[in-house]
């Protein structure tokens, strides 16, 4: 479903089945719209279209299927597009507990397997086809890792946060230029830290928002201003810029 004002929405269009809302991911830039989805099989499904001023989507080719790793069961996709226009999709393989990153740069192929993890997200830097994937090896009270791709052929080794008290399932992640911006909840505080492409460590932490009791989100605009939002203990939305 789509909208021009966020209030009135078009009729829904089915994009296939999935076990829950985590089984799809969306990308929009200008009038370009793409999605990726899974349905607990070894396949990845994606489609793209054009956003129209009346709030509808003009779809291009029919939904495409990427045949993934044999015997995989994929969940929780994340989609990104690099500066050269190549599509990247990360998926959690429930069969072996790994994060796989796939790309159509030069034809669909798996570019990275991070090994055992509980969640991952692929992100695109603004230049040179560079990418990042953020993931956590075990759920809760462990470090969060980042690996970066040089835009040619090489993924750098993982760089872990110094703190080991984070939970990636209650975090927010967004890229600005060549910076991965991460916000996590620590002792009811939305805590911000970042990783710049080419650095060997995450930044020190900053308290971005107090009284965070639920999931947290981080977003940015064209001027790279960051906004953080969460819920307080009374289920009110709280935010800071």
DSSP 59-105: E-SPPEEEE-STT--EEEEEEEE-TTS-EEEEEEETTTTEEEEEE-T
pLDDT over 90 at 201, yes or no = yes
> Would you state the structure tokens that stand for residue 167, as one six-digit string?
């939970």
* Arithmetic mean of pLDDT, 219-227: 94
pLDDT over 90 at 79, yes or no = yes
How would residue 56 be classed by pLDDT, with cut points 50, 70 and 90? confident
pLDDT of residue 112: 94
pLDDT of residue 100: 92
Q: The pTM is what?
A: 0.90
Give the Cβ contact number of residue 119 at 10 Å: 21
Which residues lie closer than 8 Å to 139 by C-beta, 6 or more apart? 118, 119, 167, 168, 169
* Arithmetic mean of pLDDT, 196-216: 95
d(CA 111, CA 164): 27
Q: pLDDT averaged over the chain?
A: 90
Residue from 236, 36, 19, 1 nearest 122 by CA: 36
pLDDT of residue 119: 82
How would residue 222 be classed by pLDDT, with cut points 50, 70 and 90? confident
pLDDT of residue 17: 64
pLDDT of residue 22: 57
Residue from 109, 37, 111, 47 nearest 74 by CA: 37
d(CA 131, CA 124): 5
Half-sphere exposure of 67 (CA within 13 A, CB side): 1
CA distances from 23 to 7, 40, 49, 81 (A): 25, 8, 19, 18
Give the Cβ contact number of residue 136 at 10 Å: 23
pLDDT of residue 124: 95
């Amino acid at each position: 479903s789509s909208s021009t004002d966020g209030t009135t929405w078009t009729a829904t269009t089915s994009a296939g089945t999935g076990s829950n809302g985590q089984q799809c991911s969306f990308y929009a830039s200008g009038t370009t719209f793409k999605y990726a989805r899974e349905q607990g099989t070894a396949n990845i499904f994606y489609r793209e279209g054009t956003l129209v001023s009346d709030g509808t989507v003009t779809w291009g080719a029919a939904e495409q299927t990427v045949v993934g790793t044999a015997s995989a069961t994929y969940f929780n996709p994340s989609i990104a597009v690099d500066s050269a226009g190549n599509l990247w999709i990360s998926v959690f393989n429930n069969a072996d507990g790994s994060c796989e990153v796939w790309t159509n740069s030069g034809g669909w192929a798996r570019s990275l397997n991070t090994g055992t993890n509980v969640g991952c997200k692929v992100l695109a830097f603004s230049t040179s086809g560079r990418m990042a994937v953020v993931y956590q090896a075990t759920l809760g009270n462990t470090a969060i890792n980042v690996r970066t791709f040089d835009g040619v052929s090489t993924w750098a080794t993982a760089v872990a946060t110094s703190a080991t008290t984070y939970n990636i399932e209650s975090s927010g992640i967004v890229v600005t230029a060549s910076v991965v911006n991460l916000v996590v909840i620590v002792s009811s505080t939305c805590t911000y830290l970042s990783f710049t492409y080419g650095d060997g460590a995450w930044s020190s932490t900053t308290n971005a928002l107090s009284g965070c009791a639920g999931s947290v989100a981080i977003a940015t605009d064209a001027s790279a201003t960051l906004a953080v939002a969460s819920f307080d203990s009374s289920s009110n939305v709280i935010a800071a810029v």
